[in-house]
Amino acid sequence: MPDLRTEEFVVNMGPHHPSTHGVCRLILTMDGEKVLKIVPVVGYLHRSLEKICENRTYPQCIPILDRFEYVTAMSCNYVFSLAAERLAEIEVPERAEYLRVIMLELNRIASHLIFYGVTAMDIGALTPFLYGLREREMIMDLFEMTCGQRLTFNYIRIGGVAKDIPAEFIPYCRKTVSVIREKLNDYEGLLNENPIWLVRNKNIGVLPPDVGIAYGVSGPSLRASGVDYDLRRDDPYSIYDRFDWKVATRSNGDCYDRYLVRLDEIKQSVRIIEQALDGLPEGPVKAKVSPNFKPPEGETYARVENSRGELGVYIQSDGTKKPYRVKTRGGSFNQLQVLPVIGTGGLIADLVAIFASLDIILPEVDR
Amino acid sequence: MVEAADTGVVFWLLAAAVLISGFLVVSLKNIFHCAIFLVICLTAVAGIFLLLDAEFLAAAQVLIYVGAVSILMIFAIMLTSRLAAHNVIQTNRHAIIAFFISMVFGLGAIALIAGTHIWRLAIETLPADNIATIGKLLMTEFMLPFEVVSVLLLAAMIGAIVLARKEGS
Amino acid sequence: MIWPVAFAELRPIFDWLYDMVSSTGLPEPWLSVVIYTGLGAMMFGVLAVLALYLVWWERKISAHIQQRFGPMRHGWHGWYQTIMDAIKLLQKEHVDVATRDKFVFFWAPVMCFVAAFLAYVTIPFGEGLIVADLNIGVLYIMAVTTFTIISLLMAGWGSNNKYALLGGMRSAAQVVSYEVPMVASILVVVVFAGSLSMVDIVRAQDGMFYNWFIFRLPFGPIAFLTYIVAATAEANRTPFDIPEAEQELVAGFNIEYSGMKFAMFFLAEFVNMFTVSAIAVTLFLGGWNGVFLPSWFWFLLKTFAVVLLLMLFRWTYPRLRVDQLMEFAWKFLVPLTFANLILGAWMKYAGWYW
């Protein structure tokens, strides 16, 4: 038989492609529908946040880092505050810790709801997106009544939180949580057993645990591969050890498991929030921190479990009121790194599903 | 259907469409345009069938020639990007000789048809339900040719699959 | 001047038109041309408005599924929103890519639009409400829908864009593949009605609803379901909307189109959806048959019910992958429909039906 050669062609997926969740550009070498090579091109959203932080005082860094990973800006607030508190050894009041946990978990739910909607939309189901955003809207309302902001909060500050919650927060939060718990059944009913959803996601983009660890993947994407690793439990921070919750893991590491793990995490976050609301003590919400906050000379690395994996901030302090160096680490970067490994050889439609299931957002990649 | 007076106008329109688009098929530079005009040409032929009350034939013409053959051609053109480039010459250096040879054949055919006087014209009217008749004939009198064509198509299909199959899969 | 016999209920309009045109003293062949053009334009107008309303309906249904309101500003529940949209699109500038193929790029939407309307020649909207009762009715519809494929290929190629090219080729491959199970499931009905004519097929389902082909066990429901699946694919709707898979191909074959050219593709899609639903009603759901109410009402009611079904599919299902789509067509639907066809033919031969 003669050697039939087909032409490969190069397609630019992005930087303004609807399913790259922002401005990611993937240079794809394709053989028909099959993806032979993926080269992610990053940097379209680079804002040099780390450098900007070097010219700001510590409290001023927090609103800058809000933009680092704006889908879960609370975590960015928190991780920087945590690092600064560790440098200066500040004791945070009890009530502030509870509020922080509530906010972090609410924000995690909000982020996973976006994941749910966007992933479904990338696979072609348009309705879940609206469902996901509907419940997220309640969480946004909660944030708005607390700090006046819906996306970039600047709420968690060094030494505590910016201000106490209003009186209507707790009943509305309980309502939100119970609504989400109830609506989760809707979500699962829409997609979990849907045969089309299953064939599009099962055994697609399997991430073996060793590959995941080698590429530094963390968070739900790694837990879907069966690695039972959650910083909230394994490198405890704040007061997570006081609550009764489980680390959600799955074993196959395919797109479907990555999806399920995130739904499971929503359930666990709901549990944490309910316990935190029950145990919320009275008291001050902010330790006394001078606006001229000057940590002693030294360096520290703080990391938290974000909805997209390990979110870390490294601060080097030279004893002045501005950090000498700030380095951030986001989970999305490593997940984008592993995309060529698990996406090559599949079809372009699979690539979209994998991209969605890794839950990459570009501001976190580019900073 | 339509009356005789109308048929005249429509026939000439269709005939003109067939001839013009047929000429464009062989003369246009861009091969994709040629394929489009082939579609128009074949559709116009179907229109002529329709005028002759051969509705089944017309539908089959559109279904097979437009729906399958032309689409296959367009597919082939789209898949081989070099073919559709504007600078590809669609004729070779024998074009002029070929033109005269085909002119000879064409004129010969016209002369032959014009000189024929014994047309086998069937005076009887078409059966009202000529599809059923065609079906019956295909299953009785023309059973063998029908089956042979089926086998031929099957062979072509298997051949295509064998060619397209990747080694080792 | 010959008047199609089946078109009885519109006879007054036709007579009025005839009187008006013949009073100008036009000679005969042109008289027919003018009158038929006028009737065609009327049909066209009705269907264009219908397509606009289907767009509005889809927006309302999707909105209510997604707990939104949808258009609310223009009239009661935004009933003339899509008309305003169409007017807006008419005024819009046509942005053409410099590298497009002028001829192909221009004619693709025209062809798509015309092909979508051609099928309405043989769709019986009610008793006597059919433009032409061709004795090849079903075959005719199958034949003219192939022009849609060619228009998609033209759009994909003429845009000179890789996404558009991929989208066009995908859609052609999809529609060609799904035509096979579609025809096979239609043939079951044809075998039982003993005719390809749409009117004859509806007449074969006269009487109560249990005479409808969908209720003829066991082949009827199977044929109906396979037809609906194939028709969804044929109309390029979710879960088979691969050609325009927004997330993979941005918008597929129509990516470079703007303004009214885009609107033509868009409206043609909705007209196609109505076409496949109307065929489903004619073939399986008894066509215009119904009690008390006028026949056209029953026909439209059933057709809108099938359209609603297709819309529910779209707003609840994710999309299949292109190879899974092909596998589903060739490895599942084609064997199933052919087995069903053989079963149906055998039952017809043995006389085990009512």
Do the Cβ atoms of A194 and C318 come within 8 Å? yes
Contact A366, A44 (CB under 8 A): yes
| Annotated domain spans of chain B | 4-93, 127-169
Do the Cβ atoms of C136 and B59 come within 8 Å? yes
Token pair in block for residue B95: 């074009």
- The 3-state DSSP class for residue A315 equals strand
Residue-averaged pLDDT of chain C: 81
The pLDDT, as a whole number, for residue B3 is 46
- Identify the weakest region by mean pLDDT among A55-59, C12-16, C166-170, C226-230: C12-16
Model pLDDT for residues B38-52, shown as the tens digit of each residue? 989 998 998 888 887
Half-sphere exposure of B140 (CA within 13 A, CB side): 6
Cα–Cα dist C208/C200, whole Å: 16
When pLDDT is averaged across residues A39-45 and rounded to a whole number, the result is 84
Contact C155, C241 (CB under 8 A): no
Residue-averaged pLDDT of chain A: 85
The pLDDT, as a whole number, for residue C290 is 77
Model pLDDT for residues B11-62, shown as the tens digit of each residue? 888 899 999 999 888 887 778 888 888 989 998 998 888 887 777 888 888 8
Determine whether C160 is exposed, middle or buried from the number of CB atoms within 10 Å of its CB (0-12, 13-18, 19+).
middle
Do the Cβ atoms of C318 and A124 come within 8 Å? yes
- Pick the closest to residue C170 from C185, C192, C155, C189 (CA basis): C155
- The 3-state DSSP class for residue C295 equals helix
Do the Cβ atoms of C28 and B131 come within 8 Å? no
Do the Cβ atoms of C316 and A123 come within 8 Å? no
Q: Does C201 have pLDDT greater than 90? A: no
Phi/psi at A13 (5° precision): -95, 105
The pLDDT, as a whole number, for residue B151 is 94
Sort out which chain C residues have CB atoms less than 8 A from B74's CB and list them: 150, 153, 157, 172
Question: Where residue B2 falls among pLDDT bands split at 50, 70, 90?
Answer: very low
Q: Is the pLDDT higher at C245 or at A210?
A: A210
Q: Does B1 have pLDDT greater than 70? A: no
When pLDDT is averaged across residues A173-195 and rounded to a whole number, the result is 86
Nearest to A352 among C66, C241, C248 (CB): C248
The pLDDT, as a whole number, for residue B167 is 62
Report in angstroms the alpha-carbon separations of A205 from A259, A342, C317: 12, 5, 21
Sort out which chain C residues have CB atoms less than 8 A from B1's CB and list them: 2
Task: Give the rounded percent of residues in chain B with a pLDDT score beyond 70.
Answer: 80
- Pick the closest to residue C320 from A204, A15, A358 (CA basis): A204
Token pair in block for residue C84: 């305003």
- The 3-state DSSP class for residue A239 equals coil
Do the Cβ atoms of B163 and A1 come within 8 Å? yes
- Identify the weakest region by mean pLDDT among A6-20, A130-144, A223-237: A6-20
Shortest distance, CA B81 to any CA of chain A (angstroms): 9
Q: Does A94 have pLDDT greater than 50? A: yes
Provide the whole-model pTM: 0.81
How many Cβ pairs closer than 8 A exist between chain A and C?
77
The pLDDT, as a whole number, for residue B18 is 92
Does A241 contact chain B (CB < 8 Å)? Answer: no
- Nearest chain A residue (CA) to C240: A124
Name all domains of chain A by residue range, CATH numbers in brackets: 48-366 (1.10.645.10)
Do the Cβ atoms of C136 and B1 come within 8 Å? no
Torsion from C-alpha of B66, B71, B73, B79, nearest 10 degrees = 170
Sort out which chain C residues have CB atoms less than 8 A from B30's CB and list them: 101
- Nearest chain B residue (CA) to C190: B132
In DSSP terms, which residues pair with A30 in a beta bridge? A9, A35
Q: Does B161 have pLDDT greater than 80? A: yes
- Pick the closest to residue A312 from A237, A242, A248 (CA basis): A237
Greatest extent of chain B over all pairs of C-alpha atoms, in Å:
64
Tokens 């870390």, residue located = A312
The pLDDT, as a whole number, for residue B154 is 92
Cα–Cα dist B77/C168, whole Å: 13
3-state secondary structure string across chain B: CCCHHHHHHHHHHHHHHHHHHHHHHHHCCCHHHHHHHHHHHHHHHHHHHHHCCCHHHHHHHHHHHHHHHHHHHHHHHHHCHHHHCCCCCCCCCCHHHHHHHHHHHHHHHHHHHHHCCCCCCCCCCCCCCHHHHHHHHHHCCCHHHHHHHHHHHHHHHHHHHHHHCCCCC
Enumerate neighbours of B (3 or more CB pairs within 8 A). A, C
Do the Cβ atoms of A4 and B163 come within 8 Å? yes
Task: Give the rounded percent of residues in chain C with a pLDDT score beyond 90.
Answer: 1
3-state secondary structure string across A265-282: HHHHHHHHHHHHHHCCCC
Q: In a mutagenesis test of the A interface, which of C317, C320, C325, C327 is the best target, namely the one with the most A β-carbons within 10 Å?
A: C317
- Pick the closest to residue A176 from A145, A139, A146, A133 (CA basis): A139
Residue-averaged pLDDT of chain B: 80
Q: Does A268 have pLDDT greater than 60? A: yes
Q: Is the pLDDT higher at C322 or at A188?
A: A188
Q: Does B105 have pLDDT greater than 90? A: yes
The pLDDT, as a whole number, for residue C5 is 46
Token pair in block for residue C179: 């035509």
Q: Does C247 have pLDDT greater than 60? A: no
Q: Does B165 have pLDDT greater than 80? A: no
Q: Does C300 have pLDDT greater than 60? A: yes
Q: Which of residues 1-30 of B touch C (CB under 8 A)?
A: 1-3, 5-6, 8-9, 30
Cα–Cα dist C50/C125, whole Å: 13
Do the Cβ atoms of A33 and C62 come within 8 Å? no
Q: Does A293 have pLDDT greater than 90? A: no
Shortest distance, CA A203 to any CA of chain B (angstroms): 20
Q: Which of A137-146, B121-130, B157-166 has the highest mean pLDDT?
A: A137-146
Model pLDDT for residues A214-232, shown as the tens digit of each residue? 888 888 888 888 888 888 8
Cα–Cα dist A53/B91, whole Å: 68
Shortest distance, CA C181 to any CA of chain B (angstroms): 15
When pLDDT is averaged across residues B89-95 and rounded to a whole number, the result is 72
Half-sphere exposure of B17 (CA within 13 A, CB side): 19
Question: Where residue B108 falls among pLDDT bands split at 50, 70, 90?
Answer: very high
- Identify the weakest region by mean pLDDT among A30-34, A123-127, A361-365, C1-5: C1-5
Contact A306, A69 (CB under 8 A): yes
Question: Where residue C6 falls among pLDDT bands split at 50, 70, 90?
Answer: very low
Q: Does B111 have pLDDT greater than 60? A: yes
Sort out which chain C residues have CB atoms less than 8 A from A203's CB and list them: none
- The 3-state DSSP class for residue C333 equals helix
- Range B4-93 classified under CATH 3.40.50.20: no
Enumerate neighbours of C (3 or more CB pairs within 8 A). A, B
| Annotated domain spans of chain C | 26-91, 97-350
Q: Does A9 have pLDDT greater than 80? A: no
Sort out which chain A residues have CB atoms less than 8 A from B81's CB and list them: 7
